[in-house]
Amino acid sequence: MLSSYIARDGRVEVAGTIAALHDADLVWVDLLDPSDEERLAVEQRFGLEVPTQAEMDEIEPSNRLYEEGGALFMTATLVAQVESGTPRSAPVTFILGERQLITLRYIDPKSFRTYAGHVQKARLVDERPVGVFTGLLEAVVARQADILERVSLDADQISAHVFRPTEVDQAKPLAELLKDIGRCGELTSRLREAVVSTIRLLTWFGHPENGWGKDHGVRERIKSLGRDLASLADFANYQSNKVQFLLDATLGRINIEQTNIIKIFSVAAAAFLPPTLIASIYGMNFEAMPELSWPIGYPLALVAMVLSAVLPLWYFRRRGWL
């Protein structure tokens, strides 16, 4: 899908036709899972070679951050579909030139939808493509902060179930807690990757050799974004450590419960071993067993078996083993 954003008098209009690519006031072209026709139209209009999906997936910095044909090609990994419970992360490419910004993506992060809606409602402070690019980066960073807040809230809820199960409304089984921790850890991992990738993109974009660092307004926005991303990176690392701690604590609880179950079976086996021994002895068919001829032999054997079971239990309880 191709969306063309045209800036006129501080207002932005959006068009979904290929013909809009030739508008003189075109400032931003957004390609979401484009068709071959749309990709070819963009390449012919701007004289640029749009990277393929396979090229975007490459992780080498030289393939993600480079200059070609007077435009900066910058690729970062972003996260999408967080609310659906099945988050996805995929590369998004920003192609920034003097007269246009082109974005190429095969996922639909919420930050893009949010920024697109914002620029259509409010006046653009900077109508240049670089202004749209930095504004889009600010929306991306704000979205990453929102996701981190969600991760933090989920981790706090999991922590309550792990350490204070009696204080929550419905204590979850440990198997469910492991699934929740897994989902939280996966989202944290994807977000850490996205934050680091965005930091790498911003650092390369702000390098003096790329020209934009000389623009005072752009430089100030780069500094602000850099501070925000550094804070997000630190918080993401903290959340990752917290998720690992919750996983270790949950596995510890599982081990404790398994140990208690094994202890119960061990105590039961130890308590019933003496009665079994007594019953086995008197179950032997030997004639020279004087107790067999006693009138009280049978009740005496029953009493002996009961005492041999009760006395070990009493001893275990007194020692604090039960």
Q: Which of 314, 320, 300, 304 is nearest to 270 (CA)?
A: 314
Residues in the chain with pLDDT < 50?
none
Provide the pLDDT for residue 41.
Answer: 87
Domains, the chain: 2-256 (3.30.460.20), 257-318 (no CATH)
Provide the pLDDT for residue 196.
Answer: 92
| pLDDT tens-place string over residues 253-265 | 888 888 877 877 7
Verdict on whether the full-model pTM lies above 0.85? no
Q: Length of the chain in residues, anyone? A: 322
| pLDDT tens-place string over residues 279-306 | 777 777 666 777 777 788 778 777 877 8
Provide the pLDDT for residue 59.
Answer: 78
Reported in sequence order, the residue ranges of the chain that DSSP labels E, i.e. its strands, are: 2-8, 11-15, 26-32, 65-68, 71-80, 88-96, 101-105
Reported in sequence order, the residue ranges of 178-316 that DSSP labels E, i.e. its strands, are: none
Helix, strand, coil shares, percent, the chain, to 5:
65, 15, 20
| pLDDT tens-place string over residues 181-200 | 888 988 999 999 999 999 99
